[in-house]
Amino acid sequence: MKERITDTMRNFFIVVTLINAAMLVLGAILRPDQQFGYEAFAYPIIYGFITSIPGLFMGTSKEMSVAQAVIREIIQLMLIIVALLVIMFGGNIANKDNIIPAISVTVSVIIVFVLVNLISWGLDKRTAEKMTADLEAYQRKNMNF
Amino acid sequence: MEIRILKIDETKNEYIEIGCHKTDTRVQDIVRFIKNRQGSIEAVREEQHYQLPITDIYYIEAVDDKTFIYLKGDCFETRKRLYEFEELLSGREFGRISKSVLVNLMKISSIKPALNGRFMCILKNGEKVIISRKYVSDIKEMLKGEKV
């Protein structure tokens, strides 16, 4: 559980940053004249919190293969999209005026989700390279002396 | 340090003796090296009993109530539990990488990222085993020599 919380926290901060960027881009395209109050600063945090919830409760004690982990990520993405659409539009998703914003939100969520995973992957790749370098030094040391 | 090799009769047990002024880290390193290169584990395959040299083991895996020992291309079953192997092989070149796997660090060729903060060990025989998030920091410490 500890690892899951640490992971969720790390992803939360990446998600909040990326939601900020997504809101900037979407807002500039869909509603460039929209005015906001200070409460607008809270939205990325609220959405970041909502998107973190499925990750917290989708853990398993079983060790997953990479393919299983990918499927888990896809299910998590779908849950996040549903949660955000329900919170943002309630029962009015089918409303004509909401279709384009709903599609935009869905596309943004997918982009943010993919970016979060890419950033995490990049960080893990650096760690893996460092571990491989340490492993080679460890093996040299244990072979030679 | 002078090195002497003495051939003895096959009826006698082989031994290694170190003559030193004090047991410093250099002597402890030699002892660890020798310990790492000896010993075998009893295992079974198709009702035949085998003594497997510890240095030939790639990884040990617990599946349900059974424990399996994997060599380069062979798999053997053993009666011992994984935690017993963990105790038996502590101080050697083996590390726990998940709840069910103990890997020989000398048999890993590289480490790659897997999803969700986990890592994948590519073994020298091409097999892949996952390092769980929980064990990543322990393995990092072992590789840096901070943990035995």
- For residue range A99-111, list pLDDT tens digits in order: 888 888 888 888 8
User: What average pLDDT does the segment B25-51 reach?
Assistant: 83
Nearest CA in chain B to A70: B115
Range with top average pLDDT, A80-89, B7-16, B55-64 = B55-64
* pLDDT 10s digits, B41-99: 889 998 889 988 888 999 999 998 899 999 998 999 998 999 999 998 887 889 999 99
Q: Give the residue numbers in A contacting B (CB under 8 Å), as ranges.
A: 3, 7, 61, 63, 65-66, 69-70, 73, 117, 120-121, 124-125, 127-128, 131-132, 134-135, 137-139, 141-143, 145
Full-prediction pTM beyond 0.95? no
Q: Check residues A13 and B105 and name the one with the higher pLDDT.
A: B105
What Cα–Cα distance (Å) separates residue B5 from each residue in A37, B13, B35? 85, 15, 18
- Give the distance from residue B72's alpha carbon to the nearest chain A alpha carbon, in angstroms: 18
A124 interaction partners in chain B (CB closer than 8 Å): 113-114, 117, 119
Residue A1 has pLDDT above 80, yes or no: no
3-state secondary structure chain A: CHHHHHHHHHHHHHHHHHHHHHHHHHHHHHCCCCCCCHHHHHHHHHHHHHHHHHHHHCCCCCCCCHHHHHHHHHHHHHHHHHHHHHHHHCCCCCCHHHHHHHHHHHHHHHHHHHHHHHHHHHHHHHHHHHHHHHHHHHHHHHHHC
ipTM computed for the complex: 0.75
CA dist B31 and B18 (Å) reads: 9
The pLDDT value recorded for residue A129 is 96
Q: Please indicate whether, in this complex, the C-beta atoms of B140 and A120 are within 8 angstroms of each other.
A: no
Please report, rounded to a whole number, the percentage of residues in chain A having pLDDT higher than 70.
Answer: 93
Nearest CA to A84 out of A112, A121, A56, A114 is that of A112
Q: Specify the amino acid at residue B116.
A: N
Q: What percent of chain A has pLDDT over 90?
A: 12
pLDDT at B123 over 90: yes
Which among B30, B99, B115 has CB closest to A69? Answer: B115
Residue B125: per-residue pLDDT: 93
Inspect the interface and report whether the beta carbons of A124 and B119 lie closer than 8 Å: yes
Q: How confident is the model at residue A12 (pLDDT cuts 50, 70, 90)?
A: confident
Residues in chain B with CB shorter than 8 Å from the CB of A131 are 111, 119, 139-140, 143
Phi then psi for residue B114, to 5 deg, are -115, 180
Alpha-carbon span B99 to B102, nearest angstrom: 9
